[in-house]
Amino acid sequence: MITGKTALVGIMGDPVEHSLSPPMHNSAFHHLKLDYVYVPFHVKRGNLAPAIAGARAMGIRGLNLTIPHKQDVINYLDELDQAAELIGAVNTVKFTNDTAVGFNTDGMGAVKAIEEVTPVKDRKIIIMGAGGAARAISFQLLLAGAGEIIIANRTQKNACKLRDDLKMNFSLPVKCLGIGNDLTMELQDTDVLINTTPVGMHPHEDQEPMVTADKMHPALVVNDIVYNPLKTGLLHEAEKAGAKTISGTKMLIYQGVEAFRIWTGIKPPVEVFEEVLMRELGH
Ligand code: ATR
């Protein structure tokens, strides 16, 4: 029940109606009997400044930001945590005593999802794609102590632009490649392969994955951040090769779990996030 003391958190985006975050967070609040409610706010691009000012004025405790606000929101915050600053994007804001602090739990979510299966410290990791998700994940992996990162992208120059940004901040080996023979060579001694592109996403389930089973090895861990379908073409190929797989739902769960932790300071009920997400996706 909403009371006079209920704390308000929510998500601002355009579109926002398909977001799976409201059911995940509200179920977690209910499970722990926390007097919080999570609400979707449909905020168009030009309305972000008054929306954030309104959130501050109304004592909203926390926000998630999604498309198209993850970068613009930085203009209206007081502080950024280290990862958000490096990535240049914020998906989580915590409001306390007139201070708005920005975080990025997208990269954190992916790293947690991988660390459930294998440590990332000192590992060689290939990331396919060079967009916003690849950026968040690659910076967070380097912050977590990854040994070597390779950005492989359809348009190699976009991969090299991200490589340059990573190298400006970390003195670790980072390479940029196209999708081709070089990628096949690098895969031989790679520990983790992550797809951040929309290849294989519904309604294009039949699209040929960028890496097939013959190029994988059984000790490889393969993570696709696409969560619809749950088992993408890439994950089918990984199974064929005897590699371990991590579905895209895990990153979605852990980005929410980490936002919950930031807002409440309470250990999040991961199993509730997972149960609700699977139910919402019809699994
Ligand atoms: P996000 O911000 O969610 O990561 P994005 O910025 O649109 O998404 O990035 C999409 C990434 O997927 C890009 O790296 C894009 O490659 P290009 O730089 O060549 O555009 C990649 N991508 C999109 N569609 C693709 C396809 N059909 N095959 C291969 N890569 C694709």
Whether the CB of 91 sits within 6 Å of ligand 1: no
Whether the CB of 71 sits within 6 Å of ligand 1: no
Mean pLDDT of 66-88: 98
**What pLDDT does residue 131 have?**
98
**What pLDDT does residue 241 have?**
98
Whether the CB of 68 sits within 6 Å of ligand 1: no
Report residue 23's pLDDT band, with 50, 70 and 90 as the boundaries. Answer: very high
Centre of ligand 1 from the C-alpha of residue 130, in Å: 7
Catalytic residue among 70, 94, 112, 250: 70
**What pLDDT does residue 115 have?**
98
**What pLDDT does residue 223 have?**
98
Centre of ligand 1 from the C-alpha of residue 99, in Å: 35
The class level of CATH for 107-247 reads alpha beta
Q: pLDDT (tens digit, 9 = 90+) per residue, 164-222?
A: 999 999 999 999 999 998 999 999 999 999 999 999 999 999 999 999 999 999 999 99
> Would residue 70 show up in a list of annotated catalytic residues for this protein?
yes
Q: pLDDT (tens digit, 9 = 90+) per residue, 221-235?
A: 999 999 999 999 999
The second-level CATH assignment, the architecture, of 7-104+251-280 is 3-Layer(aba) Sandwich (3.40)
Whether the CB of 197 sits within 6 Å of ligand 1: yes
Q: Please tell me if the domain spanning 7-104+251-280 has the same topology as the one spanning 107-247.
A: yes
Mean pLDDT of 277-281: 98
Report residue 16's pLDDT band, with 50, 70 and 90 as the boundaries. Answer: very high
**What pLDDT does residue 99 have?**
97
Residues 91-118: b if buried by 16+ CB within 10 A, e if exposed: bbbbbeeeebbbbbbbbbbbbbbbeeee
Using the predicted structure, report yes or no on whether residue 246 has a pLDDT greater than 90: yes
Using the predicted structure, report yes or no on whether residue 148 has a pLDDT greater than 90: yes
Centre of ligand 1 from the C-alpha of residue 198, in Å: 6
Report residue 97's pLDDT band, with 50, 70 and 90 as the boundaries. Answer: confident
Centre of ligand 1 from the C-alpha of residue 200, in Å: 12
Question: What is the rounded radius of gyration, in angstroms, for the C-alpha atoms of the chain?
Answer: 19
Domain residue limits, the chain: 7-104+251-280, 107-247
Using the predicted structure, report yes or no on whether residue 98 has a pLDDT greater than 90: no
Mean residue pLDDT of the chain comes to 98
**Strands in the chain per DSSP E:** 7-13, 36-42, 62-65, 79-80, 92-96, 99-103, 124-128, 148-152, 174-177, 192-195, 221-224, 244-246
